């Protein structure tokens, strides 16, 4: 297939693809991709290459160049401590010869022949997501899986020339990466998030038409009073969406679409249609495109469809994630009623806080490395949905110990994974196969008592 970004550069050469600190037209983007392509073609190895850049235009240039050359790029989170990130990349045999440099936008590299996607079915990018043990999983997508996702999204929520989607999510999130791919599909524009403005103020200033948010961002948006009249669609997902939040957005006539998806699914599995009623918006919507859903044991959501990832990179090969019947086990529980999906939470211990996956086992591992037996459980939080708290098997919890814990957490985990509260182990709970549910109840009671 001909590279879609190139197609847009021929169809709309002067139209903006990305607007941020600089405006990049489709033609300028194509020129930069050409230069990145020429560099990748000089590499003899096809070892996955990590992108280490805070410049989204550079990151996207390498992504498109990888698609044109048959290389595979890895996009690690910039929130992780650098030494942790480097160690993870090394353990997964991902080259740390990072693609960090940015080419000048004015660099013109014309090609006589239209560039094509090297192998739409082959691996093109790796995105990191937490596994059931808390250890990172490396999800591998092809250009085809991501492009089908963009197509299915556009069939439900049109995003075309003249529209503007705010890049409110990081590109190392699947929900963030799909925004510029949808722009290339429809010839639309991506607007970079201005760190000095709230989402609402930027929607008003830049006349944003499309928006992707998690529940916390929607809560912030509703608490402001900006002009949101330019909005055509607001995609809200990234975990449990409180019913009260949906009701409030609906009453304010915000054109929301509730959705369910995950990294392995190329973003959206189900999404509500435009102008859905309030009852429908209490669900996660209906399957997009050729997605097929069934409910398995323990109410687990099982899916198959063309945007499903190629599998998980184990450092040498890609492991197929499908069961013998071709279904992918999401690890989420849910019900599928009248063609609509109702997610019910994780089969395992993972929970979602502000759109970020948190595995208690990952945090517990840090405590155990410090010689502290700990159990981490989630508690409800009005802003983030759920937040982690930790029970520690210690005789005392003085200031010095707390400072040591905080310092160790900072060295090993991003801030959103740090427990909000540290509690001494309750005498009524055995440390032998302790009940997480009982600890969760105790934590909520203690916090409620402190607030009253």
- CB-facing half-sphere around the CA of 149: CA atoms within 13 A: 29
Q: What is the C-alpha to C-alpha distance for residues 39 and 134, in angstroms, rounded to an integer?
A: 36
Chain centroid, CA 146 distance in Å: 13
> Which residues of the chain are modeled with pLDDT < 50?
106, 132-133
Confidence at residue 163, expressed as pLDDT on a 0 to 100 scale: 98
- What pLDDT was estimated at residue 224? 85
pLDDT in the model for residue 132: 46
Res 63: pLDDT:
96
**CA–CA gap between residue 224 and residue 63 (Å, rounded):** 36
Per-residue pLDDT, 320:
96
pLDDT at residue 349 in the model: 83
Q: Report strand pairing: 421-424 vs 385-392.
A: parallel
143 SS3 class? helix
**Residue 67 falls in which region: left (phi positive, over 0), alpha (psi -120 to 50) or beta:** alpha
Domains located in the chain, CATH noted: 4-346 (3.40.50.12780), 351-451 (3.30.300.30)
Token pair, residue 278, equals 């309030």
So what's the pLDDT on residue 367? 92
């Amino acid at each position: 297939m001909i590279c879609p970004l190139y197609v847009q550069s021929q169809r709309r050469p002067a139209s903006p693809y990305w607007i941020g600190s600089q405006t990049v037209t489709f033609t300028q983007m194509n020129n930069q991709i050409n230069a990145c392509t020429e560099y990748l073609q000089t590499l003899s190895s096809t070892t996955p290459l990590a992108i280490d850049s805070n410049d989204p235009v550079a990151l996207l240039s390498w992504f498109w160049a990888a698609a044109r050359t048959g290389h595979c790029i890895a996009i690690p989170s910039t929130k992780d401590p650098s030494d942790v990130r480097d160690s993870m990349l090394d353990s997964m045999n991902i080259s740390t010869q990072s693609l960090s440099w940015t080419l000048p936008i004015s660099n013109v590299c014309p090609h006589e022949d239209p560039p094509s996607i090297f192998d739409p079915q082959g691996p093109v990018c790796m995105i990191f997501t937490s596994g059931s043990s808390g250890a990172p999983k490396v999800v591998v997508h092809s250009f085809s899986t991501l492009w089908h996702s963009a197509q299915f999204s556009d069939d439900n929520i049109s995003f075309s020339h003249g529209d503007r989607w705010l890049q409110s999510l990081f590109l190392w999130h699947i929900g963030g990466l799909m925004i510029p791919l949808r722009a290339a599909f429809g010839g639309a524009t991506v607007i970079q998030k201005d760190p000095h403005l709230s989402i609402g103020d930027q929607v008003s200033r830049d006349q944003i038409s499309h928006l992707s948010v998690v529940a916390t961002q929607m809560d912030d948006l509703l608490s402001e009073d900006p002009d949101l009249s330019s909005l055509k669609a607001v995609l809200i997902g990234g975990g449990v969406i409180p019913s009260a939040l949906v009701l409030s957005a609906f009453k304010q006539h915000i054109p929301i679409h509730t959705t369910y998806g995950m990294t392995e699914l190329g973003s959206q599995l189900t999404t509500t249609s435009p102008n859905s009623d309030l009852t429908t918006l209490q669900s996660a919507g209906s399957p997009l495109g050729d997605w097929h859903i069934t409910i398995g044991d323990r109410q687990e959501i099982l899916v198959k469809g063309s945007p499903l990832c190629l599998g998980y990179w184990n450092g040498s090969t890609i492991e197929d994630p499908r069961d013998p019947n071709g279904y992918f086990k999401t690890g989420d529980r849910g019900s599928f009623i009248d063609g609509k999906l109702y997610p019910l939470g994780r089969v395992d211990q993972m929970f979602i806080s502000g759109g970020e996956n948190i595995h208690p086992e990952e945090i517990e591992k840090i405590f155990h490395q410090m010689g502290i037996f700990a159990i981490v459980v989630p508690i409800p939080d009005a802003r983030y949905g759920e937040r982690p708290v930790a029970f520690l098997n210690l005789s005392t919890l003085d200031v010095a110990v707390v400072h040591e814990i905080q310092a160790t957490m900072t060295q090993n985990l991003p801030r959103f994974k740090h427990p909000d509260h540290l509690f001494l182990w309750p005498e009524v709970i055995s440390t032998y196969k302790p009940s997480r549910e009982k600890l969760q109840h105790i934590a909520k009671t203690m916090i409620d008592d402190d607030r009253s």
